[in-house]
Amino acid sequence: FSGTSLIQLAQAKQFKVPNSYIESSKELITNLDLLSRENKIPEDWLNILQNIDAWRRPEKLARFCYICSKVSDNLRVLCDKLTQNFLATRNIDVQEI
């Protein structure tokens, strides 16, 4: 089974899976390719943050990074960088630009 087919199976109500788990799985599947790219460009980092709605709900970034840290140490390191980029971007005062 792929991650997507497991989600579809869960959504078909054959299994009672909490919506938060389904949502977390979707976020991981959607962003894993972007996060795993060898040569990431700034738009890749921003796309990941946009995909998980980190700008409006920063707790989703923490949840995403927690899940990634359980998958592999490499993803944990990449999520640390993602979090640093997120915090740096949030500290920019748009009024000054």
Please, how many CA atoms are within 13 Å of residue 43, restricted to the half-sphere of its CB? 0
In the chain, what are the domain boundaries? 18-96
Which pLDDT score, from 0 to 100, does residue 61 have? 95
Residues in the chain: 97
List the Cα angle 81/96/84 in 5-degree steps: 10
At 42, which amino acid appears? P
Q: What are 5-60's pLDDT values in tens digits?
A: 666 666 655 667 677 887 888 888 888 888 888 898 889 999 999 999 999 999 99
Cα distances (angstroms) measured from residue 3 to each of 53, 71, 92: 21, 13, 36
Question: What predicted TM-score, i.e. pTM, was given to this entire model?
Answer: 0.74
Cα distances (angstroms) measured from residue 83 to each of 5, 14, 16, 25, 49: 29, 36, 32, 19, 9
Q: How far apart are CA 96 and CA 92, in angstroms?
A: 8
Q: How confident is the model at residue 1 (pLDDT cuts 50, 70, 90)?
A: very low
Which pLDDT score, from 0 to 100, does residue 42 have? 86
Q: How far is CA 94 from the centre of its chain?
A: 24
Location of structure tokens 């949840």: 63
